[in-house]
Amino acid sequence: MNRIFIFLMSLLLVHVSFGQENETKPALDTADLSNLSIEELSKLKSRYVATDMEKSIIQAIGAASHKPLPLRKTPSIVSVIMEDEIEKSGARDFIDLLKLIPGVELNVDVEGVVALSFRGMWANEGNILLQIDGQEVNETAFAGLQFGNHYPITQIKKIEIIRGPGSAIYGGFAEYAVINVVTKCGKEIDGITGNLLAGQTGNGFAHQNVSVAAGRKVNDFSYSIHALAGRGQRSTDIYRDVHDKTYDMNGNSSIRNGFLDVKLAYNNLSFLFIYDNYATEIRDGYVGALTKTYPCNFTSYMSEVKYKKEWSPKFQFQTKLSWKRTLPWEFEGQPAPIDSSYGHYKIIADRYRANVNVSWDPVSWLNGVAGVEGLLDNAYKPDGQLFKADSTARVNYFNYAPFIQLLMKTRFANVTLGARYDVSSAFGSAFNPRLGITRKFGRFNFKLLYAASFRAPSIEDIQYSLNKVMLNPEQSKTLEFETSVKLTKDMFLSVNIFDVTTKNAIRYFVRMDSSNNGDPNGYRNTRNVIGSQGVEFEYKYKSSFGFINFLYSYYTIGNKKCDSANAVVANRNSTLGIAQSKFTFMASINAGKYLFITPSVNFLGKRYGYTHVDGLGNAILSVFQPQMTFNLYAGCERLLKNASFGVGVNNITDERIVYLQAYNSMHAPLPGLGREFYLKLNYNFPFHSKSKSD
């Protein structure tokens, strides 16, 4: 791995040196007019129109900074998935889109939940923040996320992914990465749209979803409504637990999803409400297979009121008030006596948030943003349940955080300085600074980034702390270097290297010795300083021909330590359940004015996972060889005047997809879907009459 880093650093230095030698006469880069002089601007022909690739480069990215910046100036490593890429990829649900992000992999947690790892590290509980229209989606009890026929994708405008820390902006749920989903607003919908998805495997149905969107902008008022109702299955394969007990997942892994997103805006005032009902049926439990299916439901309500005012061209003010209620991992009832490991659980967790910030541009080369955010978590367990550590039915935690950010343009580089200081009644405090230096040389661009970040212990982390010992916040330091080049007006290439170091990692610990009395399990801060290093590569081509995306990522922990729950004895460079290498290739080819065809390939390298136990109850490690899946999607953008459709086959060769557990908790690999044939239909009813303001 050291040789890889030396080679990449040499390559990057050559790029920088090349740019310095030609700095007096750089090639005009029309994709970023903000860097051109008045003389250079005057030479541009007014009839020049930016290409689709150039538009994607210069678009404002809002997730990586308090002030939106173009892609190459953002002080973070950022990937963007655009609306047309989502549509033409043939993506069935959010899992298909996650495959388009370097470094992201899907792993099983427990009870049928499939969640994320990132850059070789398990990242489900508060390590990665997911936002939809600015709303924090992570459930509040454990801070987790759940994927698989979840979250609507048909009305997404774009997805911005910070592949790196975001705590300096977002706090304790953004330690490793941020995924920011932006849906279409009223003006962009301007009508009523209906979408249908139906998918079938050889053994049973896979996806059956219907979604509707409506929206419009009239003068100063705008509204949009997105709604989804659907059902799916995690798999139609056979699940085998570590004790060799089996069951057929077809009919025993149901997923039902109801989703509603309402946005209203009038002048400077906006309102948003999201309802998400994710109802699953599971039989895999914590370790052994259960005798029958049981419900495991996740329900969320989110709302926000935001007021934004521009008092002058140089001074802006914004305030937000939000409320989120989550009821995760919910099971009301009593299991069969033989399934006593799975029991009644219900928690109602509310999060209240208030945020105030001001943005000031005192001079043309300086922008400052400062503000404060307050959080109140209030959780309640009904039906006579008690929180484990406090032995009460209700707990409260308060967090406040001042933050600041400075953006400076200098002759040599653009510099971002920022910090956030969180003070919590639950865990003490966490200070998270960031530094970003971005520099453009002709067609080349580089970023040198450093940031501290943290994972705040969630409500149930605190309550299930081992021996009731107070948990410290998990803290990470990330160093990243990226070089990118606009090869042509239609091609863009970026390569980045990263180094992540994490201390006080919060892990669920299972004591194996039989002499323990009472409940031996719980969360603790691991003593090891862990982390990973690696490289990520993105190549994008986009033109009237179509588009090509090639993504590659590699990590190693060879120069880091690893917690025992995540270590692989057979390979000290790899962590449990997570492939070191991953690549995705997708090419969408326009075959005429309205037809397109999109083949894609997904590759995962060798993985390690626990699959069985021996006669003494010791876990047996298995090797999963590299796996490649092939997909094909073809569509017609105008079957009729306002209709479009597509047909696809996912996993053409019917590879056995499995989600491995990324930590040793004796959960066997969870099967995913095999070969699926599916159909997508879309029909749009436009509002023909438009006001002048439209």
Q: Where are the domains of the chain?
A: 2-686
The CA distance from 283 to 245, in Å, is 11
What's the angle, vertex CA 230, arms to CA 228 and CA 235, rounded to 5?
140
pLDDT of residue 486: 94
- Residue at token pair 């005798």: 291
What is the pLDDT of the chain when averaged over all its residues?
89
pLDDT of residue 15: 38
Q: Which helix (H) or strand (E) holds 343?
A: none
Bridge-partner residues for 608, per DSSP? 623
The CA distance from 192 to 682, in Å, is 11
pLDDT at 518 over 60: no
Q: What is the pLDDT of residues 53-65, one digit of tens each?
A: 878 888 888 889 9
pLDDT at 1 over 50: no
pLDDT at 631 over 90: yes
Q: What is the SS3 string spanning 606-620?
A: CEEEEEEECCCCCEE
pLDDT at 35 over 80: no
Bridge-partner residues for 657, per DSSP? none
pLDDT, mean of residues 144-155: 93
Q: What is the pLDDT of residues 489-517, one digit of tens each?
A: 999 999 999 999 999 999 887 654 433 44
Q: pLDDT-based confidence at 48, cuts 50/70/90?
A: low
pLDDT at 670 over 70: yes
Residue 384 tokens, joined: 């006579």
pLDDT of residue 4: 41
pLDDT of residue 511: 59
The CA distance from 497 to 490, in Å, is 24
The CA distance from 204 to 185, in Å, is 36
The CA distance from 174 to 138, in Å, is 10
pLDDT at 529 over 80: yes
Percent of the chain with pLDDT over 70: 90
CA distance from start to end of the chain: 55
SS3 (DSSP) at 498 = strand
pLDDT at 288 over 50: yes
pLDDT of residue 32: 53
SS3 (DSSP) at 542 = strand
Decide: residue 146, CB within 10 A, 0-12 exposed, 13-18 middle, 19+ buried: buried
Using CA atoms, how far residue 570 sits from 238, 606, 608, in Å, is: 27, 12, 9
449 contact partners, CB below 8 Å, separation of at least 6: 75, 76, 77, 164, 434, 435, 436, 437, 478, 479, 480, 481, 482
pLDDT at 688 over 90: no
Q: What is the pLDDT of residues 310-360, one digit of tens each?
A: 888 899 999 999 999 999 999 988 888 888 888 899 999 999 999 999 999
Q: pLDDT-based confidence at 666, cuts 50/70/90?
A: confident
434 contact partners, CB below 8 Å, separation of at least 6: 75, 165, 168, 416, 417, 418, 419, 449, 450, 451, 452
pLDDT, mean of residues 18-42: 43
pLDDT at 171 over 80: yes
- Residue at token pair 């149905």: 205
Longest dimension (CA), the chain: 81
Among 613, 608, 623, smallest CA distance to 575 is for 608
pLDDT of residue 6: 40
pLDDT of residue 49: 65
Q: pLDDT-based confidence at 284, cuts 50/70/90?
A: very high
SS3 (DSSP) at 317 = strand
**Lowest mean pLDDT segment, chosen from 115-124, 170-179, 335-344, 450-459:** 335-344
What values do phi and psi take at 383, rounded to 5? Answer: 60, 30
The CA distance from 471 to 457, in Å, is 7
pLDDT, mean of residues 598-605: 97
pLDDT at 13 over 70: no
Entry pTM: 0.91
Using CA atoms, how far residue 156 sits from 264, 565, 663, in Å, is: 17, 37, 33
- Assigned architecture for domain 2-686: Beta Barrel (2.40)
What values do phi and psi take at 543, rounded to 5? Answer: -160, -170
Residue 547 tokens, joined: 């588009």
What values do phi and psi take at 176, rounded to 5? Answer: -105, -30
Q: What is the pLDDT of residues 467-493, one digit of tens each?
A: 888 899 999 999 999 999 999 999 999
Q: What is the pLDDT of residues 73-101, one digit of tens each?
A: 999 999 999 999 999 999 999 999 999 99
Residue 422 tokens, joined: 């969180």
Please name the amino acid found at residue 558: G
CB 368 within 8 A of CB 65: no
